[in-house]
Amino acid sequence: MVDVAPTAPVPLKTKAPPMVSVVVPTRNESDNVGPLVERLRTALGEMPGEIVFVDDSDDDTPEVIASLADDDIRLVHRTAGHRDGGLGGAVAAGFAAAQAPWVVVMDGDLQHPPETVPDLLTAGRNETAQAVVASRYLDRGRVDGLGGLFRRFASRATGLAAKVLFPRRLRTVTDPMSGFFAIRRDAIRPEELRPDGYKILLEVLVRNRVERIAEVPYTFQPRTAGDSKASLREGLRYGRHLAGLRVATLRHPRSATGRMLGFALAGAAGTAVNSAALWALGEVAGLPYLVAAFLAVQVAIIWNFVVVDNLVMPPGERTRGHRFGRFLLLNNTLTPVHLGLLFALVQLGGLHYLGANVLAIVVVFLLRYVVTTSWVYGT
């Protein structure tokens, strides 16, 4: 057995360069790895491949894997203290070690039938997909081995939660919770991954923005040896993973619509910030309303900058200080108009300055829109 750092597997020479790297995460699966290797070798037949075990065991699984070792088997043993990200972290370490153009991820407990692996690869080639998911919920797919009613319900509910939160990315995926899938190695950008527990497929599809996803049905088999490591703790971890993933991918949207929405939401909240600041400065601090309004505009601009800079726009080349300076300056060009309008509405229109201020914000916003679309873009 060889203990090595997670990202440095033992390199073994393979005769032909592998077409497929099968990444198998294992934790205490000593009775399963032997039959798994045998069935995988048969299933792959002539196709050159490698099996990369990423093992986090405390039992003798690594010794059993080492005893099977041939040119086609590699082992990354993560010792205690190096098991970041649990199952997902292990798969990510497998991605880093994989050498073939296609990577298949499957469990080491035979619940994922090795005989389905060639189907995944065929579908990937025929449908020019970047990833192929083995699905328990696609026409002929089944969940036989999933166990009790609660586990079945949990599987459906967590899958649905993922589809609700990532509707576009998971549109064609019936089983986003699957731990059995094939993916082109060049579709994986390991540096973007933040694996956290079981749902590594979701992590890859969402964070690496995988575009073309195919599916193949399979039947989830009952476990015949060893125990499942799924637990309530893993369930809670899933909630945390999902929330983190959603927040992280909401930031810095790439589409024009996403950015526009970000601007609009920041601006809408900015109106509330502006009004609150104006109220505090005018009513509580007792400043003259035009002075208070000028300061409230500055507060709102700072608010908008913090939101837009952190959540909406990617930072670009300029330093944060430089970006802030430009933001403040450009946003202040319309401040005289804002204050003039406010003055007119209060003095001539007889409005209360707090209400007049909201009106001024809206008009200035429209003005900004008209000015940029007609003067800058000539439409």
Verify binding: residue 185, ligand GDD, rule CB under 6 A. Answer: no
By CB under 6 A, residue 95 contacts ligand GDD: no
Site membership for ligand GDD, residue 111 (CB under 6 A): yes
Our finding on whether 56 is near ligand GDD (CB under 6 A) is: yes
Stretch that binds ligand GDD, among 104-112, 166-174, 319-327, 351-359 (CB under 6 A): 104-112
- Among 130, 135, 178, 357, indicate the residue that binds ligand GDD (CB under 6 A): 178
Please, which residue, 50 or 109, has the CB nearer to Mn ion? 109
Describe the chain by its helix, strand, coil percentages, rounded to 5.
55, 10, 35
Could you write out the DSSP letters of every residue in 248-283?
A: HHHSS--SHHHHHHHHHHHHHHHHHHHHHHHHIIII
Q: Which of 95, 137, 166, 180 binds ligand GDD (CB under 6 A)?
A: 180
3-state secondary structure of 29: coil
Q: How far is the CB of 111 from Mn ion (least distance, A)?
A: 4
| CA dihedral over 85, 90, 94, 96, signed as positive or negative | positive
Residue 159 interacts with ligand GDD (CB under 6 A)? Answer: no
CA angle 351, 355, 361 (to 5 degrees): 115
CA pair distance 313, 251, nearest whole angstrom:
8
Q: Residues 9, 18, 49, 108: which binds ligand GDD (CB under 6 A)? A: 108
Give the CA radius of gyration of the chain: 28
29 makes contact with ligand GDD (CB under 6 A)? yes
Q: By C-beta, is 94 or 267 nearer to Mn ion?
A: 94
With beta carbons less than 8 A apart as the criterion, state whether 158 and 177 touch.
yes
| Min CB(1)–Mn ion separation in Å | 23
In the list ligand GDD, Mn ion, none, the entry touching 197 (Cβ below 5 to 8 angstroms by class) is none
SS3 label, residue 3: coil
179: partner contacted, choices ligand GDD, Mn ion, none (Cβ within 5-8 A by kind):
ligand GDD
| Residue 164 CB, nearest approach to Mn ion (Å) | 25
Phi, psi dihedrals of residue 343, rounded to the nearest 5°: -60, -45
Instruction: Provide the 3-class DSSP secondary structure of residue 101.
Output: coil
List of residues 6+ apart from 362 with CB closer than 8 A: none
Check residue 176 for interaction with ligand GDD (CB under 6 A): no
Buried-state track 285-321, b at ≥16 Cβ within 10 A, e below 16: eebebeebbbbbbebbbbbbbebbeeebeeeeeeeee
Alpha-carbon dihedral 271, 272, 273, 274, rounded to 10 degrees: 50
353 binds, among ligand GDD, Mn ion, none (CB under 5 to 8 A by kind): none
Total binding residues for ligand GDD by CB under 6 A? 23
Q: 21: which strand partners?
A: 50, 103
Among residue numbers 199 through 228, which ones bind ligand GDD (CB under 6 A)?
220, 228
Shortest reach from residue 221's CB to ligand GDD, in Å: 10
- Shortest Å, Cβ 110 to Mn ion: 8
Q: DSSP string covering 284-346, please?
A: IS---HHHHHHHHHHHHHHHHHHHIIIIIS---SS-HHHHHHHHHHHHHTTHHHHHHHHHHHH
Identify the CA nearest to 205 among candidates 137, 257, 130, 98: 130
What residue 56 binds from ligand GDD, Mn ion, none (CB within 5 to 8 A, per partner kind)? Answer: ligand GDD
Closest distance to Mn ion from the beta carbon of 224 (Å): 11
Residue number, 77 or 169, with CB nearest to ligand GDD:
77
Residue 50 touches which of ligand GDD, Mn ion, none (Cβ within 5-8 Å per kind): none
Using CB distances below 5 to 8 A depending on partner kind, what does residue 104 bind out of Mn ion, ligand GDD, none? none
Q: Which does 180 bind (CB under 5 to 8 A by kind): Mn ion, ligand GDD, none?
A: ligand GDD
What is the number of the residue whose Cβ is closest to ligand GDD?
Answer: 179
> Which alpha helices (H) appear in 146-199, and where do they start and end?
149-165
For binding to ligand GDD (CB under 6 A), which residues are involved? 25-27, 29, 54-56, 86-87, 90, 107-109, 111, 177-180, 198, 220, 228-230
